[in-house]
């Protein structure tokens, strides 16, 4: 079988991780990535032997002056790819669609910063793989939405979810980002609900989710405190059992001294994960509580990495690979996810 | 009328504020505070002319060597006071009670770090002033519990509260505290419910409150995201109206660029508040939401100062001043609280 | 004697403090401040009874819609003032000079964010008060430059300064600023020397100063680690003695448990300072070291407040008040500075 | 040739990294590590197949109850090893020496938290490899001392170092450490010089180094601002050339958008380094300045990893491997260091 020819537009937090993982898939070939300007990111990209395509002649020149060779321009990349994973900053995805992907008749995946209507489906592999089958444009939802979909969908299947109320405690900026705060404050999102609730419904169509959100001074992970009204009574052990059996969800434990998002990240480094990533949603064993049909749990979301595996599965679905469970398994194995 | 003779045990975050505000009350006299060791805190205490009583002879000597005069030992303070406000660190209050207050037959107020059974009543002035009337031992509840009681009690009176689910996002350490973290992490409280829910019930006896909590890297304020099941349907304007009319609650607004706990603290400084304090619980106008009988709101709690006025009112109640509303008004006026 | 009529342009971190302190001067009258848009800052300004002048009709309307009355437009303010203290953001001072102050023939003080050539003199009261006498345009240097000038000038007078090498550890953002980082990083200024060294020389003309700088995740104060080559040998006690005698410099001490910038800010709050400010430059007693003619010391600079008193003294100098020492004393007394 | 049998005592930040890298050496065999209690660290250790030896019977039981098998007790580990790398917390190394290593006649390496007299030599491979040859007890100096020795030694060899004055801006706590601050403060070390200067002299015997230090709210790296009086005049290019040629030193550049310690850590992750580590000392190209014989430079030190390679080289030296340059090269290759 021919390998799927994949390009990555935007070599930032998400793009560089997608590129790394595409290279690990036996059924995919990384044709190249786009390059916008010279930086340590592109220098390392070159060291890894990943072909770079300049977004314009200024970019090509700047890269060249700094000793980095480009294989051509964006158009050359588009010509050689079956599908582009667009990892541009928020709102540029839509622009790129009109300007590049539609005219060049290349399939494209967008990230959660874009509005849902940029694509034919919003996607979380273990929830709605089939919706992306053979589609031309698919949107992988945001890190937070992905995190809620994974655990809520698993609970819904067994106990039925009547309603969800969640508080999202968001990291203020990514680890490499020195420009943004807050440095010493709590910053509420002053709209109700926050956008996360409606976004879950682009994947889990009938789930009632109300979310409030705030940002804090940390760069490592987001945290979700969830309250779920179940259709049927459950026990803590029932819920724990579900999470243990759910792919891309990891149960962590205070008993093993995982007491914080910092220790989850340390665990990821100890596990030898690429870039120290933790793509699984981490649920605390001791943070699960049940009162009759009311369930409480706390989960941590690694904003840099949880959607990477989703992008890989979306590629397969859009290229016609029908077995979602198999795709998830293939992706997981290459990333060391159980 | 004779002034109430007040002593303060423990001149830390709470104690020094209580001392400042006792001095502002026309019906009270600050007899003195206890001193444990030399520090800038005690040097400033001396500059203010507040009499200091050493907790032991080593303390007296250390203070003396650094040029600070003490008026006597703790026993001398106890002899001269009608009531002691105990602001010792957690658990020392109970010790002090057995060792000092019971034998010396002096009334005492404890803080929220002590267990409820240290006292005859747990106290939030606008909720249960009368319970503290003429009591010998009263416990002012913690900053977080006080914050929840003030707003929930006000809502309960008008619309009835069926159930509360709250997430407490706690400051990791006080502004002056350089030893404690977290510096870059979110640290969940891995017990369900956190102790805050049951603690609310020591004041609002019949309120069903379930709380989860976590600590973040900020020193300024705590934040509460609350979900309230009401007995009767309400509108956002109804709720806003209640908060505007409730004493020691302040409605803040994104429209006035109060977007964070940092800007609340800046507002307090702009208002000329002593030490830059904000003793009012701050509720965001734009953070109030209603879906039928479900109410959402977000409030910020200044952990250093919201309980100070409670201590003052508790003094009056315990000394037999019967008019709670009048006491609250007297205290508020001296602190610049509307 | 007629009072000096003062206006303040820009009601931010510096402007609002200058306004507060102008009001405390017996020889000055605060005519008003400019207002750019509605916010809690302007609402509090109105509560204090400070007249506001809108920068344009949109501003006037926005303020009016939010219940805040303006006394007129900027031109009205200019007409009624002898002198304007311009506290606009960086670079706007120069614009305002050309647009407003020169055409209206009103004297103006600029802040350290402007380039030196905006004014006829750069100013630190205790170093070069006389240079500002009767000038039309004076620039108060930045918080960091002010801090270095105060202590270095004092040492230079007694022991002679051959050369200074200093590392400036800067706060990343002000306490109210939720937008800027870094949250978890050290960010070097990658130009040598940093601009602080040359800026000191606009006040202390012959001092050789080389500075390097970096930003860290704190909002409270800047810190300077200084290495000074002296012309004559000194002892630690000699230096300590100088600092104790120097106005607007405060010796703090580990022995009194002032171990950090956080505890300096706590001290300022304990002292009852307006807004919790510490306008004095704080030098650590235990941070002073001498090796022959090499002197080491560490000082902390409260970026929000150390230049406020300088602006007040600059007003007097520019309006012809000849006795610098007297002006400094008058200003200090109103601010509680020893 | 027989492989060197290595044990690791203390499986924390340093110990787990040493264990990982020992496994990569062709001439070494990792016999096992000590285990003190159950945690995610030990669970991951078990997953990696590293043999664990319990420090006492309680530890063995606790590990066993949590499903982790131990190979025996510490005595069993000692019997099977040629050399132990002791990575215990500060001061425990000395205790372990008396209690375990001397009686069992096993060679041992200590870390920089121990005092120099715990060992026969203090060690930085590229500075004094030969001093550790065939020794029984060697101390690898601290991360900060190692960082200064690497760059200063290189400069000294070419231009001669007359004197060094350095400011160390230290990270407040490691990334996984949620207990320690400061969260929002700068905390000076109030002793002069800080211990770092004298510690450099345990390796570079004749170098005059004076250091001041302070802690800030970051977990990623330490930073050093250095001022060096050279014996001979140099240019920026001369110095840059030295750093480029010096092993375990990396020149980073603002031009490549490495503007902060956060971006250095991101670079390490992009490079695919194990645990995202950066064992090289990073010097900023644009942070190098020269004024005649005075040199300024800024370097960042990854406190978790820069000493790991030193421990590996120390093992070889102590076991009689004579060629230091060859050892450094062997170690570097396994860690991906140029």
Residues 211-250 of C with CB under 8 A from A: 217-219
Contact present, A148 and A156 (Cβ < 8 Å): no
Q: Is the pLDDT of residue C1 over 80?
A: no
Q: How far is D189 from chain B (nearest CA, A)?
A: 13
Q: Identify all chain B residues contacting D180, using CB atoms and an 8 Å cutoff.
A: 179-181, 183
Per-residue pLDDT tens listing for chain A (338 residues): 699 999 999 999 999 999 999 999 999 999 999 999 999 999 999 999 999 999 999 999 999 999 999 999 999 999 999 999 999 999 899 999 999 999 999 999 999 999 999 999 999 999 999 999 999 999 999 999 999 999 999 999 999 999 999 999 999 999 999 999 999 999 999 999 999 999 999 999 999 999 999 999 999 999 999 999 999 999 999 999 999 999 999 999 999 999 999 999 999 999 999 999 999 999 999 999 999 899 999 999 999 999 999 999 999 999 999 999 999 999 999 999 98
C243 CA: distance to closest CA in chain B (Å): 19
Task: Name chain A contacts of B218, Cβ cutoff 8 Å.
Answer: 182, 184-186, 216-217
Chain D CB contacts of A265 under 8 Å are 175-176
Residues C90-128 pLDDT 10s:
989 999 999 999 999 999 999 999 999 999 999 999 999
Cβ-defined contact of A289 to B192 (cutoff 8 Å): yes
- Number of neighbours of residue B90 by Cβ within 10 angstroms: 11
Condensed to tens digits (0 to 9), the pLDDT of residues D203-259 reads: 999 999 999 999 999 999 999 999 999 999 999 999 999 999 999 999 999 999 999
Contact C188 D284 (CB under 8 A): yes
- Residue D338: the pLDDT is 82
- CB-CB under 8 Å, B214 with A262: no
Contact D199, D141 (CB under 8 A): yes
Using CB atoms, which residue from D169, D220, D298 is nearest to C184?
Answer: D220
CB contact under 8 A, A259 and D178: yes
> Which burial class, exposed, middle or buried, applies to A300 when counting CB atoms under 10 A from its CB (0-12, 13-18, 19+)?
buried
Pairing of strands B289-291, C289-291: unpaired
CB C16 within 8 A of CB C32: no
C338, pLDDT greater than 90: no
Interchain proximity B181–D181, CB inside 8 Å: yes
* Facing residue for B216 by CB, picked from A218, A219, A259: A218
Average pLDDT of the residues in D296-325 = 98
Q: Which of D219, D227, D286 sits opposite C227 (nearest CB)?
A: D227
For chain D, what's the residue count? Answer: 338
D281/D287 Cα distance (integer angstroms): 14
H or E stretch covering A330: helix A324-335
Test the B interface: residue of C175, C182, C254, C274 with most B CBs within 10 Å: C175
Mean pLDDT of C279-306: 97
Size of interface A-C (CB pairs under 8 A): 49
- Which candidate in A171, A172, A182, A186 is best for mutational testing of the B interface (most B CBs within 10 A)? A186
Residue pairs between chains A and B whose CB atoms are closer than 8 Å: 127
How confident is the model over D142-193, as pLDDT tens digits?
999 999 999 999 999 999 999 999 999 999 999 999 999 999 999 999 999 9
The whole-number average pLDDT for the span C136-158 is: 98
| Residue of C143, C149, C282, C309 marked catalytic | C143
Distance from the C117 Cα atom to the nearest Cα atom in chain A, whole angstroms: 30
Do the chains contact at B181 and D185, CB–CB below 8 Å?
no
* Rounded CA separation C115/C69 (Å): 35
pLDDT for B338 equals 81
Cβ pair D183:B185 closer than 8 A: no
DSSP string, B45-58: HHHTT--EEESSHH
C21/C18 Cα distance (integer angstroms): 5
Note whether D262 contacts A47, CB cutoff 8 Å: no
For testing contact with chain A, the best of B177, B184, B197, B256 (most A CBs within 10 A) = B184
Q: Min CA distance, B234 vs chain A (Å)?
A: 16
CB contact under 8 A, C181 and A178: yes
**Which residues partner with A110 through β-bridges?**
A139
* Whether the Cβ atoms of residue B264 and residue A184 lie closer than 8 Å to each other: no
- Identify the active-site residue in A45, A81, A87, A143: A143
Strands D294-301 and D222-230: antiparallel
- Which residue on chain A is closest to D262 by alpha carbon? A176
Q: Provide the pLDDT for residue D228.
A: 98
Contact A270 D41 (CB under 8 A): yes
What residues of A are in contact with residue D269 (Cβ under 8 Å)?
275-276
Report the pLDDT value the prediction gives residue C258, as an integer from 0 to 100: 98
Residue pair A147/A299 in contact by the 8 Å Cβ criterion: yes
Asked if C254 is an interface residue toward chain D (Cβ–Cβ < 8 A), one would say yes
* CA distance to partner chain C, nearest, from residue B21 (Å): 13
* Closest CB to A260 among B187, B263, B298: B187
Q: Is A180 on the interface with C (CB under 8 A)?
A: yes
Whole-number pLDDT of residue A283:
98
Of B79, B87, B132, the C-alpha closest to B106 is: B79
Chain D interface disruption, residue of A180, A183, A186, A275, most D CBs within 10 A: A275
pLDDT mean values, one per 10 residues, chain B (338 residues): 94 98 98 98 97 97 97 97 97 96 97 97 98 98 98 98 98 98 97 93 97 98 98 98 98 98 98 97 98 96 98 98 98 95
This complex has an ipTM of 0.97
Give SS3 for C20: helix
- CA distances (Å), origin C38, targets A132, B240, B261, C65, C264: 48, 21, 19, 9, 33
Which residues make Cβ contacts (< 8 Å) with residue A195, sequence separation at least 6?
none
Can you give the pLDDT at residue A265? 98
Answer whether D67 touches A (CB < 8 Å).
no
Give the pTM: 0.97
Structure tokens at D65: 């109850």
Q: Please judge whether A184 and C175 are an interchain contact, meaning their C-beta atoms are less than 8 angstroms apart.
A: yes
Burial of C300 (0-12, 13-18, 19+ CB in 10 A): buried
- CB-CB neighbors (< 8 A) of B212 in chain A: 225, 287, 296, 298
Which stretches does DSSP call E strand in A116-208?
121-123, 137-140, 161-171, 187-188
Q: Would you call C286 an interface residue with chain D, using a CB distance cutoff of 8 Å?
A: yes
Neighbours of A202 (CB within 10 A): 21
Strand partners, B180: D180
Q: Do D257 and A177 touch (CB under 8 A)?
A: no
Q: Is B171 on the interface with C (CB under 8 A)?
A: no
Q: List the one residue out of D324, A75, D188 whose CA is nearest residue C223.
A: D188
Other chains touching C, judged by 3 or more CB pairs under 8 Å: A, B, D
Select from B176, B252, B256 the Cβ nearest to the Cβ of C38: B256
The nearest alpha carbon in chain D to A276 belongs to D275
- Which chain A residues contact residue C182 at CB under 8 A? 178-179, 183
């Amino acid at each position: 079988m021919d390998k799927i020819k994949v390009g990555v537009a935007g070599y930032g937090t998400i793009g560089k991780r997608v590129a790394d993982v595409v290279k690990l898939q036996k059924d995919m070939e990384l044709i190249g990535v786009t390059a916008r300007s010279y930086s340590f990111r592109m220098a390392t990209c070159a060291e890894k032997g990943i072909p770079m395509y300049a977004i314009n002649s200024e970019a090509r020149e700047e890269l060249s002056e700094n000793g980095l060779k480009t294989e051509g321009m964006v158009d050359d990349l588009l010509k050689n790819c079956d599908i582009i994973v667009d990892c541009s900053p928020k709102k540029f995805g839509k622009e790129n669609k009109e300007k590049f992907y539609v005219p060049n008749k290349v399939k494209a995946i967008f990230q959660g910063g874009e509005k849902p209507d940029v694509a034919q489906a919003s996607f979380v592999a273990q929830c709605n793989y089939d919706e992306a089958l053979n589609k031309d444009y698919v949107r992988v939802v945001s890190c937070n939405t992905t995190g809620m979909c994974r655990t809520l969908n698993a609970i819904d299947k067994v106990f039925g979810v009547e309603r969800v109320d969640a508080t999202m405690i968001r990291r203020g900026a990514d680890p490499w980002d020195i420009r943004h705060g807050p440095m010493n404050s709590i910053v509420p999102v002053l709209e109700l609900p926050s956008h996360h609730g409606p976004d879950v419904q682009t994947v889990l169509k009938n789930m009632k989710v109300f979310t409030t959100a705030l940002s804090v001074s940390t760069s490592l992970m987001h945290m979700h405190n969830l309250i779920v009204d179940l259709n049927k009574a459950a026990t803590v052990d029932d819920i724990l059992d579900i999470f243990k059996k759910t792919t891309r969800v990891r149960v962590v434990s205070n008993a093993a001294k995982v007491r914080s998002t910092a220790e989850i990240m340390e665990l990821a480094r100890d596990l030898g994960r690429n870039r120290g990533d933790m793509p699984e949603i981490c649920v605390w064993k001791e943070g699960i509580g049940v009162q009759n049909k009311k369930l409480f749990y706390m989960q941590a979301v690694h904003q840099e990495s949880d959607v990477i595996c989703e992008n890989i599965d979306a590629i397969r679905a859009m290229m016609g690979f029908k077995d979602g469970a198999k795709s998830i398994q293939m992706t997981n194995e290459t990333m060391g996810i159980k």
